[in-house]
């Protein structure tokens, strides 16, 4: 079953993206480099609750 997660920027702490992931295959927290519209650059985004 896929669960919905929120990704937040590590620099400005804004919650920018929503996505889904499969907790069985990836139980750890996700980290993705994505564009932050508040910082106006590509930053690392981590999974939040």
What is the residue extent of each domain of the chain? Answer: 2-48
Q: What secondary structure letter does DSSP report for 28?
A: S
What CATH code is assigned to 2-48?
Answer: 2.20.28.120
Model pLDDT, residue 42: 97
The Cα–Cα gap between 1 and 10 comes to 27
pLDDT along the chain (49 residues), means of 10: 94 95 93 96 94
Q: In this structure, are residues 3 and 20 in contact, taking their beta carbons and an 8 Å threshold? A: yes
Smallest CA-to-CA distance from 19 within 39, 43, 42, 45 is with 45
Q: In this structure, are residues 14 and 8 in contact, taking their beta carbons and an 8 Å threshold? A: yes
Terminal-residue alpha carbon distance, the chain? 17
- Per-residue tokens: 12: 């400005």
What is the model's pTM? 0.84
């Amino acid at each position: 079953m896929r669960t919905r997660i929120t990704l937040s920027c590590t620099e400005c702490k804004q919650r920018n993206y929503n996505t889904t992931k499969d907790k069985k295959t990836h139980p750890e927290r996700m980290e993705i480099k994505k564009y932050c519209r508040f910082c106006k650059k590509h930053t690392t985004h981590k999974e939040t609750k």
